[in-house]
Amino acid sequence: MSELVPITVARGDGIGPEIMDATLRVLQAAGARIAPEFIDIGEQQYLAGHSSGIAPEAWDSLRRTRVLLKGPITTPQGGGYKSLNVTIRKTLGLYANVRPCVSYAPFVRTLHPKMNLVIIRENEEDLYAGIEHRQTDEVYQCLKLITRPGCERIVRYAFEYARAHGRRKVTCMTKDNIMKMTDGLFHRVFDEIAPQYPEIETEHLIIDIGAARLATRPERFDVIVTPNLYGDILSDIAAELTGSVGLAPSANIGDHVAMFEAIHGSAPDIAGKGIANPSGLLLAAVMMLVHIGQPAVAETIHNAWLRTIEDGVHTAELHGTLSIGRPFGSMDFADAVIERLGQRPEQLAPVQYGTTPSAPGRAAGPRSAAANVPRRAPAAKALVGVDVFVHAAGVSADFLAGQLVALAVPPLGLQMITNRGVKVWPGGFPETFCTDHWRCRFVAAEATPVTHADIIALLQALVARGIDVIKTENLCTFDGERGFALGQGQ
Ligand code: NAD
Do 339 and 392 touch, CB atoms closer than 8 A? no
Task: Spell out the long-range contacts of 110-113 with Cβ–Cβ below 8 A and sequence spacing 24 or more.
Answer: 110/241, 110/242, 110/243, 111/241, 112/218, 112/219, 112/241, 112/242
pLDDT at 81: 81
Q: Could you tell me the pLDDT band of residue 357, with boundaries at 50, 70 and 90?
A: low
Residue identifier of the C-alpha nearest atom 12 of ligand 1: 267
Decide: helix, strand or coil at residue 123: coil
Domain boundary residue, one of 308, 328, 361: 361
Is 286 domain-assigned?
yes
Q: Candidates 264, 269, 314, 328: which one to mutate for ligand 1, based on the most atoms within 8 Å of Cβ?
A: 264
Instruction: Give the pLDDT confidence of 96-131 residue by residue, as tens digits.
Output: 999 999 999 999 989 999 999 999 999 999 998 889
Are 115 and 236 part of one and the same domain?
yes
User: Which residue's CA is the closest to the ligand 1 atom numbered 35?
Assistant: 265
Highest mean pLDDT among 202-206, 314-318, 349-353: 202-206
Q: Among residues 115, 128, 59, 127, which one has the least CA distance to residue 92?
A: 59
30 and 79 assigned to the same domain? yes
Cα-to-centroid distance, 262 and ligand 1 (Å): 10
Contact of 175 with 206, CB cutoff 8 Å: yes
Q: Which atom of ligand 1 is least distant from the CA of 74?
A: 32
Same domain, 302 and 190: no
CB 191, CB 197: distance < 8 Å: no
CATH at 84: 3.40.718.10
Please check whether residues 165 and 231 belong to one and the same domain. yes
**CA 307 remoteness from chain centre:** 31
Model confidence band, residue 365 (pLDDT cutoffs 50, 70, 90): very low
The chain-wide mean pLDDT, for the chain, equals 92
462 CA to centre of ligand 1 in angstroms:
53
Residue % of the chain over a pLDDT of 70:
95
Percent of the chain with pLDDT over 90: 81
Q: What is the pLDDT of residues 29-67, one digit of tens each?
A: 999 999 999 999 998 899 888 888 998 889 999 999 999
The answer as to whether 106 is a domain residue is no
| pLDDT above 80: residue 89 | yes
Q: Is residue 310 part of a domain?
A: yes
Q: Is the pLDDT of residue 366 over 60?
A: no
Alpha carbon 363 to chain centroid, angstroms: 25
Would residue 342 count as lying in a domain? yes
Q: Is the pLDDT of residue 358 over 90?
A: no
For residue 106, cis peptide bond before it (omega within 30 degrees of 0) = yes
Which of 208, 241, 274 is the last residue before a domain boundary? Answer: 241
pLDDT tens, residue by residue, 274-312: 999 999 999 999 999 999 999 999 999 999 999 999 999
Domain that holds residue 201: 111-241
Q: How much is the average pLDDT of 73-81?
A: 80
On whether both 340 and 398 belong to a single domain, the answer is no
Could you tell me the distance, in angstroms and rounded to a whole number, from the CA of residue 264 to the centre of ligand 1? 5
Highest mean pLDDT among 122-126, 198-202, 242-246: 198-202
Mean pLDDT of 164-177: 96
Average pLDDT of the residues in 79-84: 79
Say if residue 223 is in the same domain as residue 149: yes
Average pLDDT for residues 450-468, to the nearest whole number? 97
Assess contact for 23 and 11: CB atoms under 8 A: no
In this structure, is residue 369 part of a structural domain? Answer: no
For the chain, the domain total comes to 3
Contact yes or no for 470/136 (Cβ under 8 A)? yes
Last residue of a domain, one of 218, 241, 264: 241
Ligand 1: lining residues by beta carbon, under 6 Å: 15, 19, 72-75, 85, 246, 261, 264-270, 276-277, 280, 317
Residue 367 lies in a domain: no
The tens digit of pLDDT for each residue in 382-402 reads 999 999 999 999 999 999 999
C-beta separation of 419 from 401 below 8 A? no
Residue 405 resides in a domain: yes
In a domain, 366, yes or no: no
418 and 447 co-located in one domain: yes
From ligand 1's centre to the CA of 74, what distance in Å? 9
Q: How far apart are CA 33 and CA 6, in angstroms?
A: 9
| C-alpha 351 to ligand 1 mean position (Å) | 27
Q: Could you tell me the pLDDT band of residue 171, with boundaries at 50, 70 and 90?
A: very high
> How far lies 51's CA from each of 41, 71, 136, in Å?
11, 19, 30
pLDDT for residue 363: 36
Report the pLDDT value the prediction gives residue 371, as an integer from 0 to 100: 56
